[in-house]
Amino acid sequence: MHLDRLSLFGLIAVALMLLFYAMEDRSPAYILAFAGACILGSVYGFLQGAWPFGLVEGVWSVVALRRWIFARTGTQAAPSCANTVR
């Protein structure tokens, strides 16, 4: 099996996403690392021509950065509409 450079880059990006996601509870640094890995995954998606994947990974990186900010400051995000009791 031969992997070209782009496929290897994508494999590494997705593997890092999985690793850092699994370790997020240990430290806010892993949340930030997950956000960075999502950015790498987004770049891979766009380079490969799968722009929907690149777009979704870009959104995930923003969500992860937001979670990192809240984890670092010790505050919580505003509850989503799904979590509110009416």
pLDDT for the residue numbered 75: 74
Q: Where are the domains of the chain?
A: 13-74
pLDDT of 38 higher than 90: yes
pLDDT of 80 higher than 70: no
pLDDT of 34 higher than 70: yes
Q: What is the mean pLDDT of the segment spanning 11-39?
A: 96
Q: Do the Cβ atoms of 36 and 64 come closer than 8 Å?
A: no
Closest CA to 30 of 72, 58, 79, 62: 72
pLDDT of 82 higher than 80: no
pTM of this structure:
0.82
